[in-house]
Amino acid sequence: MLENKRRLRPSRKGCNIFTTFSSSIMRGKIKDKILLYKLKTRQNSDDFTVLYDKYVKQIYRFVFFKVSNKEEAEDITSEVFLKAWNYIQDNKEIKSFSGLLYRLARNCVVDLYRAKASRGAVPINEQTDMSDGGEWYEDLNNRSEAQEILKALKKLKQEYQEVLTLKYVDELKVEEIAEITGKGKIAVRVTLYRALKKLKFILAEK
């Protein structure tokens, strides 16, 4: 009986790893909330700088993947944080600062393509400049592999590109993706499943 209880008892090491990981995520979210509170009460730009430094690379990467142009990605990233600053100054409710940034970035990209369409310009989506800060693919085995995956992603419809980028490039949770895209969690999971299936199909064709 005693042996069975010991077998059922979870590993302390496993529990410690899970606890550490969960605590790290919680600390990050709590820190964001504290900084946002300070911003609203003190309106100190230094507090905003901390949030900027924490998220600027993620937002730039997210935008760059969508527009495939370094200058446009930099401009939009700057615009996103300016809008976020104004949003805070207006004392609007913010449930998640990262969620707000991604929603603003998403809207700015949509505005860019609408402006291009009105001018009759062709959206830049055929070839991505891999020479700048596309740091996300550094963990892959080689650049040719990264190129193949990027090209395959670009063949997916925008909805699939977006959820895959948020999930596997920006490493966001389903709940966060749901908040950013305005979808339910089940809808996000279904979209992720279909997007991955389509991506694997495209890669298998090569």
Range 92-119 average pLDDT: 86
Domain count, the chain: 2
Q: How far is CA 195 from the centre of its chain?
A: 16
- HEC string of 111-170 equals HHHHHHHHHCCCCCCCCCCCCCCCHHHHHCCCHHHHHHHHHHHHCCCHHHHHHHHHHHHC
Which tens digits make up the pLDDT trace of 112-165? 888 888 777 544 443 333 333 334 444 444 555 667 777 888 888 988 888 988
At residue 11, the pLDDT reads 46
| pLDDT attached to residue 13 | 45
Residue where one domain finishes, among candidates 93, 123, 153: 123
In the chain, pLDDT over 70 holds for what percent of residues?
A: 70
User: Do 159 and 180 form a contact (C-beta atoms < 8 A)?
Assistant: no
What residue numbers bound the domain in which 157 lies?
142-206
Residue 133 lies in a domain: no
Kindly tell me if the per-residue pLDDT of 199 is higher than 80. Answer: yes
Tell me the CATH number at 156: 1.10.10.10
Residue 151 belongs to a domain: yes
65 burial type by CB count under 10 A (0-12 exposed, 13-18 middle, 19+ buried): buried
Alpha carbon distance 117, 111 (integer Å): 10
Report how far apart, in Å, the C-alpha atoms of 17 and of each of 11, 12, 65, 92 are.
10, 9, 32, 37
* CA 171 and chain centroid, separation: 7
118 and 174 in a single domain? The answer is no
3-state SS, residue 206: coil
In a domain, 198, yes or no: yes
Whether the CB-CB separation of 126 and 151 falls below 8 Å is answered with no
Is the alpha carbon torsion for 132, 154, 57, 41 positive or negative? positive
% of residues, the chain, pLDDT over 90? 19
Q: What is the mean pLDDT of the chain?
A: 75
Which of the residue ranges 100-104, 124-128, 150-154, 168-172 would you say has the lowest mean pLDDT? 124-128
Separation between Cα atoms, residue 164 and residue 166, nearest integer Å: 6
For residue 36, give the CATH number of its domain.
1.10.1740.10
**Is 2 a member of any domain?**
no
Residue 10 has pLDDT above 50, yes or no: no
Burial class from Cβ neighbours inside 10 Å (0-12, 13-18, 19+) for residue 177 reads: buried
Contact 188, 178 (CB under 8 A): yes
CA distance 57 to 62: 9
Q: What is the pLDDT of residues 19-29, one digit of tens each?
A: 443 444 445 56
User: What is the tens place of the pLDDT at every residue in 55-72?
Assistant: 999 899 889 888 888 999
